[in-house]
Amino acid sequence: TSNDRNFQGNFDGRGYTLSSVTISSRNYAGIFGYISGASIKNVRIGGGSNISSNVGGYTGALVGYAVNSTIDSCNSTVNPSGNNGCRLGGLIGYANGCAINNCSSTGTSNINTYPNGYYGGLVGYADNTTFYRCYSTAGISGSNNSKLGGLLGYITNNCLINECYSTGIININAYGYVGGLVGQSIGSQISKSYSTSSISSSNGSNNRVGGLVGSADNTIINNCYSKVTIANMNGLGYVGGLIGDIENGSTVSNSYSAPLNFTTGNGTGGALYGYSNSNSNSYINSYYQDSWGNQSNGSSRTPADMKTLQFAIDLNACQTNIWSRIVNDYPVLYWEGTGTDLPSCFDGTGTLNDPIRIRYAIDLIRISNNVAGGTTYSGLYLLVENDINFTTNPNDDSSQYFNPIGNSYTNSFRGNFNGGGHKISNLTINSGTYVGLFGYISGATIDSLGIEDFTYTSNRLGGGLVAYAHNSTINYSYSIGKLTSTGNNSSSEYPEIGGLIAHLDKSTLNNCYARVRIYDQTGNTRSSFGGLVAHIQPQDGNYYYISYINNSYAASYPIPHVGDYGSLLGYVRNDYNFSETNSYHYDLSGMNRDYGGTAKDSTEMKSGCFVVNLNGSQPS
């Protein structure tokens, strides 16, 4: 009953239920009023019980006040009542230095509170305490100047919340800090947790209301979500779909907010946070539903977008066993056990025998982002394991998130990319300087890869597969799609548009082809257009380097009659920069550049003899 009269032993309830317990007018109210260094497990507290405390007291159905103790696998269906200024929780009133695991509060009536208190569905006030796999479905009705949380009213001093949730109905009728999971958090961490509570306010001013946390101060929130209903907000203050008020270097990462209903009432706020009062706050890979307006931090997504595989993969950010997907619904946490596993992310060490495996559009997006950030994949091996389909629908594996792999010599792809005989389809790129699946490669190898049904627009270099290839080798690859040049009609610009490659520099093509529709919107007479390659020229000052094209063909049509244009090659700096062996092109009239290869009409190219001639003496 006090700090000098407390329970310090080990208590195992063995899953039995204590019912019809009445405790009232105590400073430490609960089956256990005060415990220190104790262990309590497997206790159930059932119906017919009535537990309440004095003014400023500590109240919980199981424990009023707990210090340095472990509480495991306990449940209460009783909602105790408090008094002015008390610490009250559905299970525990106050916890300091404790470990609370697998505990729950599932009362069917509201926890009724008084002004100036700390109230939580499970625990009212927690200091330096860990929570694991705890939840509350209890409702709470709060009063003036209170901290209310669906699970925890107030947490501070390195509390750790992991894999917890709340679903109760919360109402505050005056000023307070209100969160679907936690009312106020200071110097603590919340991970892999969520709330689907319903929150309302009938009165009050200066509220801090959040779908997950009412107020987060120097707090880390990682891999969490909120799908709450926030309605009837008649008071003033800050209202956020995830956090009401965020301050003092708090971090939100890999999290999202998707309110089922959201209103700020007379207050201000947004779908992710209500108010962010510090430039030191961080928002990393976190999202909010755009139905409720845009905010300066975090990323907005439509409700439809947030229900796609693409969004779940983005949110997961290559973590292991964190998020899962539900088809046509929002992502859920892996530990909930209700979703399907997300695809593995970049498994493989990058060796020849254990290549980095590519299975989804998001993998290509990550490679692109990594190369742009300075990871060139030099010396590493990558393998495409299946066909990959981009779509024009922004709610699926959309090409709107993709940038060509490599954007300069410095940030170029330098690895070994094996397409595995698979194709990448429906990629759309609307603008750029180096446009293609690969923007810039150097010292790279690309093998056995097809790119089909693409639609590119380039203002400088565009190639169906590669925009700029330096000192690289491309084998057994092809492109089928559409390319358009929109470069400036300026003497300082040199648009280069090729069916497979825009610019070939000291590189080799073996057994490749292009069937691409090529268009021009500039009329720039300095342009180069080629059915297979637009421009061949070494760029390092030594014009004696040679590029090779072997056993390849171009069947691209139409090709613009602007600048330098040819059905195989558009422009070659010098004849000695180029060597062609057993290569072919459409027999198109009006071409002003003919750099070799054998012309064939479409009938000939579709014949069996053409295949035999193209293959030459190579093995089948």
The helix-helix angle for 361-372 and 309-316 (nearest 10°) equals 40
Q: Confirm whether 400 is domain-assigned.
A: no
Position 112 pLDDT exceeds 70: no
Compute the distance between CA of residue 257 and CA of residue 243 in angstroms, rounded to an integer: 9
- In tens, the pLDDT along 233-267 reads 666 688 899 999 999 999 999 999 998 888 766 66
Q: Which helix (H) or strand (E) holds 553?
A: strand 553-554
CA atoms in the 13 A half-sphere facing the CB of 504: 34
Q: Confirm whether 173 is domain-assigned.
A: yes
Residue whose C-alpha is closest to residue 564's, from 600, 532, 524, 599: 524
pLDDT the model gives residue 233: 67
The encoded tokens of residue 306 equal: 């947030």
Tell which of 289, 310, 331 closes a domain.
310
Task: Please indicate, yes or no, whether residues 306 and 428 belong to a single structural domain of this protein.
Answer: no
The encoded tokens of residue 547 equal: 């590029």
Query: What pTM value is reported for the model?
Result: 0.69
Q: Which residues contact 158 (CB under 8 A, 6 or more apart)?
A: 128, 187, 188, 189
Compute the distance between CA of residue 316 and CA of residue 321 in angstroms, rounded to an integer: 9
What average pLDDT does this structure show over 413-426?
97
- In tens, the pLDDT along 423-457 reads 999 999 999 999 999 999 999 999 999 999 999 99
Number of domains within the chain: 2
Task: Please indicate, yes or no, whether residues 223 and 74 belong to a single structural domain of this protein.
Answer: yes
pLDDT the model gives residue 438: 98
Q: Which residues of 488-527 are buried (b: 16+ CB within 10 A; e: fewer)?
A: eeeeeebbbbbbbbbbbbbbbbbbbbbbbebebebebebb
- For residue 148, give the CATH number of its domain: 2.160.20
Task: Please indicate, yes or no, whether residues 46 and 187 belong to a single structural domain of this protein.
Answer: yes
Q: Confirm whether 490 is domain-assigned.
A: yes
371 phi and psi, to 5 degrees?
A: -65, -40
Domain that holds residue 238: 10-310
pLDDT band at residue 31 using 50, 70 and 90 as cut-offs: very high
pLDDT the model gives residue 432: 93
Tell which of 310, 326, 345 closes a domain.
310
Task: Please indicate, yes or no, whether residues 23 and 166 belong to a single structural domain of this protein.
Answer: yes
The answer to whether 206 and 236 are in contact (CB under 8 A) is: yes
Q: Confirm whether 588 is domain-assigned.
A: yes
Q: Confirm whether 402 is domain-assigned.
A: no
What average pLDDT does this structure show over 46-56?
77
Q: Confirm whether 523 is domain-assigned.
A: yes
**Counting every residue, how long is the chain?**
620
Q: 271 vs 210, 242, 428, CA distance in Å?
A: 9, 7, 31
pLDDT the model gives residue 577: 74
Tell which of 255, 285, 310 closes a domain.
310
Task: Please indicate, yes or no, whether residues 42 and 173 belong to a single structural domain of this protein.
Answer: yes
Q: Confirm whether 323 is domain-assigned.
A: no
Position 498 pLDDT exceeds 80: yes
Position 399 pLDDT exceeds 80: no
612 phi and psi, to 5 degrees?
A: -65, -45
Task: Please indicate, yes or no, whether residues 297 and 442 belong to a single structural domain of this protein.
Answer: no
Residue whose C-alpha is closest to residue 62's, from 78, 48, 83, 82: 78
Higher-pLDDT residue of 455, 596: 455
Pairing of strands 118-120, 146-149: parallel
Task: Please indicate, yes or no, whether residues 133 and 278 belong to a single structural domain of this protein.
Answer: yes
Task: Please indicate, yes or no, whether residues 174 and 304 belong to a single structural domain of this protein.
Answer: yes
Q: Confirm whether 374 is domain-assigned.
A: no
